Amino acid sequence: MEYSRTDRTTLVRAPRRGVYDRERIHAILDEALICHVGFNGPDGRPFVIPTAYGRDGDRLYLHGSSASRMMRDLAGGIPICVTVTLIDGLVLARSAFHHSVNYRSVVLFGEARLIEDPKQKERGLRLFTEHIIPDRWTAVRAPTEQEMKATTVLDFPIDEASAKVRTGPPNDDDADYALPIWAGVLPCAIRYGAAIPDERLDEDVEIPEHVREYRRPGPSESAG
Amino acid sequence: MEYSRTDRTTLVRAPRRGVYDRERIHAILDEALICHVGFNGPDGRPFVIPTAYGRDGDRLYLHGSSASRMMRDLAGGIPICVTVTLIDGLVLARSAFHHSVNYRSVVLFGEARLIEDPKQKERGLRLFTEHIIPDRWTAVRAPTEQEMKATTVLDFPIDEASAKVRTGPPNDDDADYALPIWAGVLPCAIRYGAAIPDERLDEDVEIPEHVREYRRPGPSESAG
């Protein structure tokens, strides 16, 4: 199933890179750890702030301190743009001009809504935490009432959505293939190292499987 | 030396995370591969687009196709926000509430300017390419006049700038340190794999050192 295209989400210049398929967009959102949220400050000038998020079907949950300027701005229902980007490799062409980057990005437009219902708020926080690290929510101390009050959770519907994807080798000009210049792709990905226990951790507390075996959903698992 | 603080760049809620030091801001800009550019479309609603960049002292170079909507918008001197984010680890606390992410981000505000001078334009493209992969510019076919025409390069002064940095272990509530819950940091970083030669590459063309030994400047090299 696809998200409907709008003027803002329809790619003009490189239409073959445009992706509107719901599952592929969700897979990119699930693999990435953070998004960049764009919105206008009170003076009408743009801000772009990195933040984590969780996904719940066709919505994202954003969260922050109830005291944060950004959370107050966003809760007001102003237009926002949420962008998520995964970098998969450097595309090294024979000409400077055709250098590129392999990437998968998602751009979402819409408005966020303050979640007031305590059950949805808790669900939002759980999915937010599980987006960062699955199986963590039930392993840790749950939020107190005071902590819930200190946290704002926003519901951002995924509605006006598109992805843009570049894969594969460089696209050099025909004449340049004869040049004796190395060309190809230097692949890259985020890697997670060995967990560093907190210095104040009791030695008896073993590292749990959800930390030891941590990895994000990758393209091979999410590709349809 | 520090960038001057403004209302927009001064951190209110977690001032200890604010960094205004020029060298530390430059180091984050040099280590990251891409930025997210925020600007308003003609309808006044925000867009956030990922793109690569180069740095030249106190300016960034942005570039794109001369036919691109975004390049035309930005070249008009509208207010933009450029944000760069590096993720260094997942901060796993004993409580859900204190979970966090270790990161280094830079937020820049200002306006971009179209570069018309051919020499500065070429310098911009060179630094843009060398930001992605050092020593590449002189190893590849230089841009033709036609390619230069097809490319827009923008000059974005680094002036209103701040960084925000979180490092270290979780900050749990005092009472929670007694809980038998694993806590610590799961470090992460972008890793580059073995280069994949283009299928059409002549076997005689050896992989150059700037590809084989590729790595980005890291915190250990850039930290003062």
What confidence score (pLDDT) does residue B220 get?
53
Mutate to test the interface with B, among A182, A196, A202, A213 (most CBs of B within 10 A): A182
Contacting residues of A for B142, CB less than 8 Å apart? 95-96
What tens digit of pLDDT does each residue of A43-82 get?
899 999 999 999 999 999 999 999 998 999 999 999 999 9
What confidence score (pLDDT) does residue B22 get?
95
Average pLDDT, chain B: 94
3-state secondary structure of A9: coil
What tens digit of pLDDT does each residue of A112-137 get?
999 999 999 999 999 999 999 999 99
Are the Cβ atoms of A169 and B79 closer than 8 angstroms?
Answer: no
Chain B interface includes A52 (CB < 8 A): yes
ipTM of the complex: 0.94
Contacting residues of A for B64, CB less than 8 Å apart? none
What confidence score (pLDDT) does residue B87 get?
98
What tens digit of pLDDT does each residue of B59-83 get?
999 999 999 989 999 999 999 999 9
Chain B interface includes A93 (CB < 8 A): yes
What tens digit of pLDDT does each residue of B144-153 get?
999 999 999 9
Are the Cβ atoms of A47 and B81 closer than 8 angstroms?
Answer: yes
Structural domains of chain A, with CATH: 15-217 (2.30.110.10)
What's this model's pTM, rounded to 2 decimal places? 0.95
- Dihedral sign of CA atoms B135, A166, A169, A175 in order: negative
Are A162 and A20 spatial neighbours (Cβ–Cβ below 8 Å)? yes
What confidence score (pLDDT) does residue A171 get?
97
What tens digit of pLDDT does each residue of A7-24 get?
888 887 778 888 899 999
Mutate to test the interface with A, among B92, B137, B201, B216 (most CBs of A within 10 A): B92
- The DSSP code sequence of A161-172 is EEEEEE-SS---
Distance CA A215, CA B155 (A): 39
Contacting residues of A for B185, CB less than 8 Å apart? 195-196, 198
Average pLDDT, chain A: 94
Q: pLDDT at residue B223 above 60?
A: no
What confidence score (pLDDT) does residue A198 get?
98
Mean predicted confidence (pLDDT) in B210-218: 93
For the record, the structure tokens of A223 come out as 């590709």
What confidence score (pLDDT) does residue A220 get?
53
What tens digit of pLDDT does each residue of B112-125 get?
999 999 999 999 99
Q: pLDDT at residue B110 above 90?
A: yes
Contacting residues of A for B137, CB less than 8 Å apart? 96
What confidence score (pLDDT) does residue B73 get?
92
Q: pLDDT at residue B224 above 80?
A: no
- Report CA-CA distances (Å) from A14 to A23, A111, B47: 21, 27, 18
Mean predicted confidence (pLDDT) in B11-16: 79
What confidence score (pLDDT) does residue B222 get?
40
Distance CA B76, CA A191 (A): 39
